[in-house]
Amino acid sequence: MKTMIAASLLVMALAACSGEAKAPEVATSAPAETAAATPPQKDPLLSAVGIGVSDLAKSTDFYVNVMGMEKIRSYHLDYMDEEVVGYPDAESYIVLMHWTDGSARTYKDLPIKIVTRVKDPVALAAKIKAAGFEVTREPQASAQVGGAIVGFAKDPDGYMLELLPLRTSAPVAETPKPN
């Protein structure tokens, strides 16, 4: 039952982020005139992924002030609070979800990885460390992925963050798989 409720909530959040449905909106950072100038969405499109967080304010602060995302929208529902965050001009978002209904939740060190591309993964890793969070692998070239720069860090709840540079015009060559 709880899984069905969580799935329903995620579908509602995804629909709300894509503009297909309206949920009670508390705050938004996008002015109304910006929405009218937005180009049509790509199809298909991954709109958002929701992750449960133990401290909504701390996680929102981390994703906004350390990772460089913007707070897009806030929802305060009877059973949970959510913050939708994403990079400026993003087409996909992270929904930070914190249940307020008193139900027991496991938020720490779940096997979840969030992959992000930024201009300077080394500078982002330094910013994450300076904010007191763990960098588990400094961004550096990895022969296992064709020499691409790869780094790893953890958010306040221990979710793995993969730090990659922005894509260049030429795709990174794939390493052949063993037979």
Dist. CA 77–CA 82, nearest whole Å = 8
Centre a 10 Å sphere on the Cβ of residue 70 and count the other Cβ atoms it contains: 16
Alpha helices in the chain (DSSP H): 2-18, 32-37, 56-61, 121-130
| Strand ordering across the sheet containing 160-165 | 113-118, 160-165, 148-154, 135-142
C-alpha of 78 from chain center? 23
For the annotated catalytic residues, the residue numbers are: 162
Please state whether the peptide bond connecting residue 156 to the residue before it is cis, i.e. omega within 30 degrees of 0.
no
Extended strands (E) in the chain:
27-28, 48-52, 70-76, 80-86, 93-99, 113-118, 135-142, 148-154, 160-165
Please, is 155 exposed, middle or buried when counting C-beta atoms within 10 Å of its C-beta (0-12, 13-18, 19+)? buried
